[in-house]
């Protein structure tokens, strides 16, 4: 017996060809820089084991992850590429990173000391990236600490700096003056390490201003088809489509109520589709049509079926959500059909906004319960 497919309530269609086209577009935005890829959090929830080979096939050679465990996963998929560990040197991991040729991002003078110690008996210098904080106050050495390193070269003994980097706090808001301030500080940092490639831009930085590209860019969300700059997809293509199975259709009379808490009352006779998606799949309960705290602060979520935009009504349950499909002629929707939760017709970031969050969180919250279909980079002939 062949295993039946599409037996999950939720189906994710992940278009790896669109992902690689997005990567190439990002290359074009910063033509003088190397374009890396940020694949932390299981490639923003899309699946590291599919995303990394697709990017390798397209020419990507440098990857960024959050911690050593993710770095090891990339190393298994790609023996040759550069893998940078953004979270620095987790206690006790220096030996592992050295052995697997993984590159720590040194975020503090303590990190520098640990890596120096790991490097001291090596025949050739160990690679590292150095992160300097330019105003975000998250990770990185202070400007003064970076300067101290240049005054005392023995502090970097047997360490080969592959990158000097910093991270932008406000690049998603093009009018925010903070980006210009960070760029000016970064220019000063870069001047301290002549000859070392420099990296500042995340997706929003790349799309906003070519001058932020420097020698290497670090896109994440734009690769995956999320909004990098607030309210704008730019030239990026949709990569992920989420669909939920309609498991029941019902006619609900005017005045009747729907869902837990009976929070939605139909103001007319309505046709309701019950779809097999809920907060157990990462469809945040706060995106419910009604009956959740703070609901009125956000626009309501909606789905898309048979060419119509259909509003979510009542509370989202763990596995189910109700959509008012009264606008769709009955003959166009039947039990078993799929309703689009986000994709070409419903923007990922609109659903995120309905949940008071961002596309990043929606993608990384998608559960493993969904069945995943990957569209290949190239259509292969068998
Ligand atoms: C996550 C991350 C990125 C990618 O950011 P996007 O906004 O997804 O493009 C780049 N650099 C650092 C340091 C990060 O932590």
Give me the mean pLDDT over the 198-205 stretch: 98
> Cα separation of 74 and 249, whole Å?
44
Angle between helices 143-151 and 109-119 (to 10 degrees): 40
Residue 293: its pLDDT value, please?
80
The Å distance, Cα 65 to ligand 1 centre, comes to 9
Provide the mean pLDDT of the chain. Answer: 95
Q: How big is the CA angle at 327 (ends 323 and 330), to the nearest 5 degrees?
A: 90
**Which one of 40, 279, 283, 374 is the catalytic residue?**
40
Please write the tens of the pLDDT for every residue from 301-347.
999 999 999 999 999 999 999 999 999 999 999 999 999 999 999 99
Is 283 catalytic? The answer is no
Is 331 catalytic? The answer is no
Q: Is the CB of 127 under 6 A from ligand 1?
A: no
Q: Is the CB of 203 under 6 A from ligand 1?
A: yes
Instruction: Let me know: does 63 contact 54? Beta carbons within 8 Å.
Output: no
Please write the tens of the pLDDT for every residue from 143-163.
999 999 999 999 999 999 999
Q: Is the CB of 218 under 6 A from ligand 1?
A: yes
> Cα separation of 76 and 379, whole Å?
25
pLDDT confidence tier of residue 378, bands split at 50, 70 and 90: confident
Residue 199: its pLDDT value, please?
98
Q: What is the DSSP string of 36-63?
A: -EE-HHHHHTT-HHHHHHHHHHHT--EE
Task: Locate 358 and state its tokens.
Answer: 């961002």
Whether residue 299 has pLDDT greater than 80 = no
Q: Is the CB of 86 under 6 A from ligand 1?
A: yes
pLDDT confidence tier of residue 380, bands split at 50, 70 and 90: low
């Amino acid at each position: 017996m062949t295993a039946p497919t599409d037996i999950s309530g939720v189906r994710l269609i992940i278009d790896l060809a669109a992902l690689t086209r997005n990567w190439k577009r990002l290359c074009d935005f910063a033509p003088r820089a190397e374009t890396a890829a940020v694949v932390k959090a299981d490639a923003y929830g899309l699946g590291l084991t599919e995303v990394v080979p697709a990017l390798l096939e397209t020419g990507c050679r440098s990857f960024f992850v959050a911690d050593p465990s993710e770095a090891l996963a990339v190393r298994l998929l790609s023996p040759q590429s550069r893998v940078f560990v953004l979270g620095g040197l987790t206690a006790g991991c220096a030996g592992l990173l050295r052995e697997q040729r993984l590159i720590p991002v040194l975020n503090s003078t303590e990190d520098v000391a640990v890596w120096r110690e790991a490097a001291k008996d090596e025949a050739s210098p160990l690679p590292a990236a150095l992160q300097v904080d330019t105003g975000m106050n998250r990770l990185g050495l202070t400007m003064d600490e970076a300067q101290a390193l240049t005054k005392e070269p023995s502090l970097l003994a047997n360490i080969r700096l592959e990158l000097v980097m910093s991270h932008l706090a406000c690049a998603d808001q093009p009018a925010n003056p903070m980006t210009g301030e960070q760029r000016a500080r970064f220019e000063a940092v870069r001047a301290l390490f002549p000859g070392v490639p420099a990296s500042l831009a995340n997706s929003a930085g790349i799309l906003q201003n070519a001058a932020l590209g420097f020698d290497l860019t670090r896109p994440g969300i734009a690769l995956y088809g999320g909004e990098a700059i607030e309210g704008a997809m730019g030239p990026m293509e949709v990569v992920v489509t989420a669909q939920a199975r309609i498991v029941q259709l019902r006619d609900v009379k005017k005045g009747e109520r729907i869902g837990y808490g009976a929070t939605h009352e139909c103001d007319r006779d309505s046709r309701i589709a019950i779809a097999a998606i809920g907060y157990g799949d990462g469809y945040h309960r706060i995106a419910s049509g009604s009956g959740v705290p703070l609901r009125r602060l956000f626009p309501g979520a909606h789905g898309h079926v048979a060419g119509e935009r259909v509003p979510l009504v009542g509370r989202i349950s763990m596995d189910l959500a109700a959509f008012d499909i009264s606008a769709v002629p009955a003959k166009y929707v039947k039990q078993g059909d799929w309703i689009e939760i986000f994709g070409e017709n419903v923007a990922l970031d609109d659903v995120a906004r309905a949940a008071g969050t961002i596309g990043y969180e929606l993608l990384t919250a998608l559960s493993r319960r969904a069945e995943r279909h990957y569209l290949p980079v190239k259509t292969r002939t068998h």
